[in-house]
Structure 1
Amino acid sequence: MITSLSIKNYALIDNLQVNFNQGFSIITGETGAGKSILLGGLSLILGKRADLASIKDTSKKCIIEAVFDVTNYNLKSFFETNDLDYEPQTIIRREILPTGKSRAFVNDSPVNLNSLHILGEQLIDIHSQHETLQLVDDSFQFEIIDALAKNNSLLIDYTQQLKAYKSIQKDLEKLLNFKAEAIKEYDYHTFLLNELNEANLLEGELESLEEEYETLNNIEEIRESLSLSNKMFNEEEIGLLSILTNLKNNFKKISNYSNKYENMFNRIESSFIELDDVFSEIETFQENLDADPERLEQVNTKLQNLNNLFKKHLVTSVTELIQIKGELALKVSETDNLDQNIQIKQNALKAIELEINRTSETIHKNRIQAIPILIKQLEGILIGLGMPNAKFKIDLSFSDMFYANGKDNLSFMFSANKGGQFNELKKAASGGELSRIMLAIKSILSKYKQLPTIMFDEIDSGVSGEISNKMGQIMLQMSHDMQVFAITHIPQIAAKGNTHFKVYKEDINNLTVTNLKKLNHDERLVEIAQMLGGIEISNSALAHAKQLLN
């Protein structure tokens, strides 16, 4: 419910601040006093697009702010989805800058107009005689029936099931499309995979093979070089080891005479040990060096095979070939397992389809049971609203299609006259009749679900005193469960409000401004008397006003 409204610098409103109560609030005022301005300002809070022409003083910004008690509206998920701070007393603010730019805030967090509009729809429903298109909308008609059928939890289940159904259906479609494409490429992928498997790819083997190939391909040159090196180490008298041995012995003799000779001896001995180790390795190289033409051919073939694979797959390393082999193995595996995966998805689709059909059937049965109750209540209310011959014919048929709210097709037909033919609501009912039907529907809905604050904007236009009295009674009854506003020119309705506000114009400093005030009992008595008899209040009008208020 809305608990307060502040409007600054909007149209003819300079600075308006008003608090609202729960229950039934009346707003009255002379034609042209500014009731439409008040609604216009409120519409901005609900997400309507702003117009620079709405600013009263174009040198200042226009600010409209409303506080809502959202405790009973189950809006926490909306706030979480839109990354907004949830507050039981939620503040919505709209600013129109002199540049024409508009900004909107919910609890001081900026929001776009679409989010504001979605939130606004759940907070206030502004209903006028000319805004009855909602009545002829299928989703709204289902909402009415489902409220009486108590289908809320079932519809939540259905929505989740439908989401799962569509997700599985989408996955299955992807698998089937993938299979169609995969079958075309399966043989080629299998050939490439077998080719890579036969290559027995190993990390780092390219470098190893290239080294082995160079050794086997140049074995004679290597053998000759190793043999010459061996001689240089081992030849008597002029061999490296023989020379170092003599050098070492010479310095050993004098090592005791000085530290510098001892250090030199140690260095020579270290060199001797290192060269002796080198000589041993050369001998090992010679022992292990064997010509192997057959192995050379194997290594050469493997290297050529790898190079061919590099060119084919446009890579330069064995690591990349191994990665490609893994990808091909996955594709081949996926293709091999496609039929099994498709079968799993098909079974899952059948299972969720059974669930969603069971839920849909229960929703359908509940709706069938609720329709006679709805028709009886609607026709009963409309008799009191001057439509004694109003009849409804609501047909529901179970279809094969999964819709957003079940599997039902709905036909919501109406006849206003006795013996008249049933037709669609928008064709069979006039604007005034649609307004009364909407009032009847809203009054029924208020008993079954939490509705947003509703503001009836002169929906009583053109109705007689007795019917307007009944309309006022319905609004008052609705206000026991929700916050209701009525903008009205009819005293019978105005007298039924728990709270009464008056919109009026006044001239301040040669400027006309619109204002809104809450009337006390005496002021209210005068207002209703003027609504009954005009500006000049007669004793009979005053007496009638007292009677209405009592």
Structure 2
Amino acid sequence: MLKELYIENLAVIEKADIGFTGKFNVFSGETGAGKSILIGAINAVLGGRAHKDLIRTGESRASVTALFDSVPEGVAAKLAENGYPADGELLIKRDISADGKGQVRINGMPATAALLKDITSGLIDIHGQQDSRILTDTANQRALIDGYAGLSGKLAEYAEKFRGFSALSRRIKQLEADNERKDERIEKLTADIDAVEKLGLKKGDEAVISEKLNRARNLEDIAAALTGAAGQTGGDDSERGAADLTEAASKLLNGISKYVPECVSLSERLSALTVELRDISADISALLPDDDESGSLQVLEEKMSGILWLKRKYSLETDEILDLCEEWKKELDELSECDNTLAALNEERHRAAEELKAAAEEISEKRKTAAAKLTDEITEQLRFLDMPDVRLRFDITPGKITVNGMDNVELMISVNKGEDLKPIAKAASGGELSRIMLAIKSVSADNDDTPTMIFDEIDTG
């Protein structure tokens, strides 16, 4: 609750130290006396705009300090969350400087105006005459009943059911739209999947096939080179190779080794080289193309042609096409099961609709019960506010089921004896709206955690 307000150099106020009681406080005075400045000062410590034009003429700064006690739990939680001490009291100071560099302090610690506004959002409810116009909005009239009836939990549960039902309906609608073109889509998916799968590709195959194709295209040159190399290293029936020559040289050196001892090691080295050359020749011969490879060129050409066709058609790389093909298969399975899925979803939606309707009807009954009690309490308050002949009634009629329930709500009023009930938007003056709002705020105070309410110009009109 707002306990004390200290103002210095704000507009026409040089200094003011105002204490508030825990119940009802009234400020009255002629136009220009400073009542609106008090409201402006309170708005400043709540994080509202604090323009330098508010500074008293001839001064360089203004300040507003407010002390609150019995801080609501929600505000205390925000204080603690942002690192401010919260011991049941809250001291806020707002300095306004002529150079535009204002300061905000919460319990002696610096803060921003935005943070101040967030933290203090549950401290004070300031209500002006223009705010009474919200009563003419039927959505606000419905919210008034819901708040009085304490339906926030029920409405949250209902809204969750409504969103689930809406999601189901959207999915069914999409599947039904898809179903209309299902056969055409199945045909296309089947053709696309077959086009990919007939090539028998795996990820990475394009590089392997490209390498094999390059070999197959040069197979004659490869065979000629390998045959020549094998013959020159190992020899053949018509010509001696390097292995034959090194073997002969080894024998020659071995024959004179008893005269030239150094030839023994040389002969042994040549003998070892002979063995290595014959092994190399055999390895070269093993690389020669076999008969199957000789006939693979056409197969490889066809497979590479198929790969290039797929890449042109889908403007994707081969591995990306294979990933896409897996997605096509999943979609094809879903389309094949579409009828079964639709039937299951429609059954689920039917159950959800029954639950939603039951929840909406329960809320509607609670609204009607609460509306009757609320109108009685508001009427009693209005009689105290010199509206003895007023009659109120909330007309609650069934309508389209929405996220807010199934009710159309209209607040009806008759101000003078003998007049028919009419919508409040058409039948109440500005002053009457102000008094009705005051009565509503009074009635709903027990359901409102805000500890301080301020009514600005509540007697206007």
> What is the TM-score when the length of structure 2 is the normalising length?
0.78
Higher mean alpha-carbon deviation, 178-187 vs 367-376, is at: 178-187
Aligned amino acid, residue 279 of structure 1? S
Higher mean alpha-carbon deviation, 7-16 vs 372-381, is at: 7-16
| TM-superposed deviation, 1:304 | 2.2
Shift in alpha-carbon separation, 1:214–1:137, aligned structure 2, 3 A: closer
State yes or no: 1:301 paired with 2:302: yes
Instruction: Name 1:541's counterpart in structure 2.
Output: none
Shift in alpha-carbon separation, 1:70–1:241, aligned structure 2, 3 A: farther
Instruction: Name 2:187's counterpart in structure 1.
Output: 187
Is the Cα contact below 8 Å between 1:223 and 1:289 reproduced in 2?
Answer: no
Instruction: Name 1:445's counterpart in structure 2.
Output: 444
Alpha-carbon distance in 2 for matches of 1:251, 1:85 = 99
Is the Cα contact below 8 Å between 2:5 and 2:17 reproduced in 1?
Answer: yes
Aligned amino acid, residue 441 of structure 1? I
Instruction: Name 1:23's counterpart in structure 2.
Output: 23
Is the Cα contact below 8 Å between 1:58 and 1:98 reproduced in 2?
Answer: no
| TM-superposed deviation, 1:10 | 3.0
Is the Cα contact below 8 Å between 1:129 and 1:431 reproduced in 2?
Answer: yes
Shift in alpha-carbon separation, 1:251–1:366, aligned structure 2, 3 A: farther
Indicate the structure whose relative CO is greater, using CA pairs within 8 Å and at least 6 residues apart: 1
1:132 aligned counterpart, secondary structure: helix
1:171-197 Cα deviation digits (max 9, x unpaired): 555555666677765533332221001
Is the Cα contact below 8 Å between 2:148 and 2:370 reproduced in 1?
Answer: yes
Structure 1 residues 33-432: aligned runs within 5 Å = 33-46=33-46, 48-56=48-56, 60=60, 63-64=63-64, 66=66, 68=68, 71-72=71-72, 74=74, 88=86, 98=98, 110=112, 112=114, 116=117, 122-128=122-128, 131-173=131-173, 175=175, 185-235=185-235, 239-245=241-247, 250=253, 272=274, 274-286=276-288, 289-290=290-291, 294-315=295-316, 317-404=317-404, 406-432=405-431
Instruction: Name 1:517's counterpart in structure 2.
Output: none
Shift in alpha-carbon separation, 1:122–1:202, aligned structure 2, 3 A: same
| TM-superposed deviation, 1:455 | 1.4
Alpha-carbon distance in 2 for matches of 1:136, 1:126 = 19
Alpha-carbon distance in 2 for matches of 1:294, 1:370 = 90
Is the Cα contact below 8 Å between 1:216 and 1:291 reproduced in 2?
Answer: no
Shift in alpha-carbon separation, 1:270–1:57, aligned structure 2, 3 A: farther
> What is the TM-score when the length of structure 1 is the normalising length?
0.67
Is the Cα contact below 8 Å between 1:104 and 1:112 reproduced in 2?
Answer: no
Aligned amino acid, residue 301 of structure 1? E
1:463-499 Cα deviation digits (max 9, x unpaired): xxxxxxxxxxxxxxxxxxxxxxxxxxxxxxxxxxxxx
Alpha-carbon distance in 2 for matches of 1:245, 1:309 = 58
Give the share of equivalent positions with the same residue, in percent. Answer: 26
2:454 aligned counterpart, secondary structure: strand
Alpha-carbon distance in 1 for matches of 2:93, 2:249 = 101
Is the Cα contact below 8 Å between 1:79 and 1:86 reproduced in 2?
Answer: yes
* Unmatched runs of 5 consecutive residues or more in structure 2: none
| TM-superposed deviation, 1:200 | 0.7
Aligned amino acid, residue 417 of structure 2? K
Is the Cα contact below 8 Å between 1:393 and 1:414 reproduced in 2?
Answer: yes
Alpha-carbon distance in 2 for matches of 1:342, 1:104 = 60
Alpha-carbon distance in 2 for matches of 1:192, 1:411 = 59
Is the Cα contact below 8 Å between 1:392 and 1:414 reproduced in 2?
Answer: yes
Is the Cα contact below 8 Å between 2:75 and 2:120 reproduced in 1?
Answer: no
| TM-superposed deviation, 1:397 | 1.0
Is the Cα contact below 8 Å between 1:132 and 1:434 reproduced in 2?
Answer: yes
| TM-superposed deviation, 1:358 | 1.8
1:373-416 Cα deviation digits (max 9, x unpaired): 22332333333333222112322112223143x22111211112
TM-align CA RMSD: 4.4
| TM-superposed deviation, 1:73 | 5.5
Shift in alpha-carbon separation, 1:185–1:282, aligned structure 2, 3 A: same
Is the Cα contact below 8 Å between 1:445 and 1:451 reproduced in 2?
Answer: no
| TM-superposed deviation, 1:170 | 4.5
1:107-163 Cα deviation digits (max 9, x unpaired): 8554659x94x8766432223456422333334433443344343322232233334
Shift in alpha-carbon separation, 1:22–1:331, aligned structure 2, 3 A: same
Is the Cα contact below 8 Å between 2:122 and 2:449 reproduced in 1?
Answer: no
| TM-superposed deviation, 1:77 | 9.2
Aligned residues: 452
| TM-superposed deviation, 1:368 | 1.7
Aligned amino acid, residue 415 of structure 1? S
Alpha-carbon distance in 2 for matches of 1:460, 1:171 = 54
Shift in alpha-carbon separation, 1:54–1:347, aligned structure 2, 3 A: farther
| TM-superposed deviation, 1:429 | 3.0
| TM-superposed deviation, 1:302 | 1.9
Is the Cα contact below 8 Å between 1:219 and 1:291 reproduced in 2?
Answer: no
Shift in alpha-carbon separation, 1:400–1:4, aligned structure 2, 3 A: same
State yes or no: 1:433 paired with 2:432: yes
1:446 aligned counterpart, secondary structure: helix
Instruction: Name 1:513's counterpart in structure 2.
Output: none
| TM-superposed deviation, 1:38 | 1.0
| TM-superposed deviation, 1:199 | 1.1
| TM-superposed deviation, 1:450 | 3.2
Alpha-carbon distance in 1 for matches of 2:336, 2:254 = 79
Alpha-carbon distance in 2 for matches of 1:324, 1:443 = 65
1:12-48 Cα deviation digits (max 9, x unpaired): 3456565656433444566533221111122344465
Alpha-carbon distance in 1 for matches of 2:162, 2:53 = 46
Structure 1 residues 479-494: aligned runs within 5 Å = none
Shift in alpha-carbon separation, 1:266–1:153, aligned structure 2, 3 A: farther
Shift in alpha-carbon separation, 1:271–1:354, aligned structure 2, 3 A: farther
Is the Cα contact below 8 Å between 2:65 and 2:91 reproduced in 1?
Answer: yes
Alpha-carbon distance in 2 for matches of 1:86, 1:402 = 42
